Amino acid sequence: MKLIAHRGKNNHSFQENSWLAFENCLKKDYISGIECDVRLTKDNQLVVCHDMSINRVSDGSGLLHNYTLKELQRYNFGTKQHPTRILTFLEFIRKLKTTKLILIELKYEGTDYQTYVNRVIAVLKKKTLNYYLCSFNTDILHYLKKKFPKYPIGIIVTRLINEHHQDGFDFISLNYHLYPVKNKEVNFVWTVNQEKNIKEFQKKDIYVITDKAYLFNNLS
């Protein structure tokens, strides 16, 4: 079992999907990698953010895709203790100096997913690291497999979403409530935050995505 820090969360005081959070997690020997989310702004800039709305993760409000990058940078996407601007995907990749696994979830609800994917890949090409790309969106995944097969491409599965569309990809990222999947090799499970739930994966060759890797340090 190997631990992946979900959105860079762990026992620190930094905001999720901020560089300070990722940097902190990458310094921990017991953490094997980090997971992040990539979205597109109104002016087609890639940023690292989980939610469609910025309400929860900043001191602003509204849908992220209705803002330009410059407009988003007016808000605090950190905490009161550690304020920071929204992290662009390019900044994130440029700052990375690690051999650990970088799990990137592609989040896009628009129709021009090809342009979105091409922008993501253009940034990834700037630095060769241990990238794994995943999404709920099967159009994105099939396009990645066809155009950029050198990257490991994985489908995210939860109840009622992609339960019957798991073939043809390099890995499966599964909601832990659904584990195991019959006749399928599951490579990642998410999001496991309690010790009673993690024991099932303790002796398996599997990546466990968690907000609380520090709780499982002695189990991994």
Superfamily of domain 2-216: Phosphatidylinositol (PI) phosphodiesterase (3.20.20.190)
Strands 101-106 and 31-40: parallel
Find, among 2, 4, 93, 82, the residue nearest to 47 by Cα.
93
Strands (E) across the chain are located at 2-6, 31-40, 46-48, 101-106, 130-135, 153-157, 171-175, 188-190, 207-210
Domain spans of the chain, in order of start: 2-216
Phi-psi region of 219 (alpha: psi -120 to 50; beta: other; left: phi over 0): alpha
**Residue 214 to residues 28, 93, 96, 192: CA-CA distances in angstroms?**
9, 25, 21, 12
pTM value?
A: 0.97
- Measured CA angle at 5 (ends 100, 44), to 5 deg: 85
Cβ count within 10 A of residue 100 = 17
C-alpha 157: how far from its chain's center? 14
Cα separation, 150 vs 145, in Å, equals 8
**Which distant-in-sequence residues (6+ apart) come within 8 Å of 135 by Cβ?**
105, 106, 107, 108, 141, 155, 156
Cα separation, 96 vs 142, in Å, equals 27
Q: What is the pLDDT of residue 10?
A: 98
Per-residue pLDDT of the chain (220 residues; tens, 9 = 90+): 999 999 999 999 999 999 999 999 999 999 999 999 999 999 999 999 999 999 999 999 999 999 999 999 999 999 999 999 999 999 999 999 999 999 999 999 999 999 999 999 999 999 999 999 999 999 999 999 999 999 999 999 999 999 988 999 999 999 999 999 888 999 999 999 998 999 889 989 999 999 999 999 988 7
- Return phi, psi of residue 111, to 5°: -100, -25
One-letter amino acid at 34 equals I
Cα separation, 120 vs 132, in Å, equals 12
- Assigned token pair, 219: 């189990």
Cα separation, 34 vs 25, in Å, equals 7
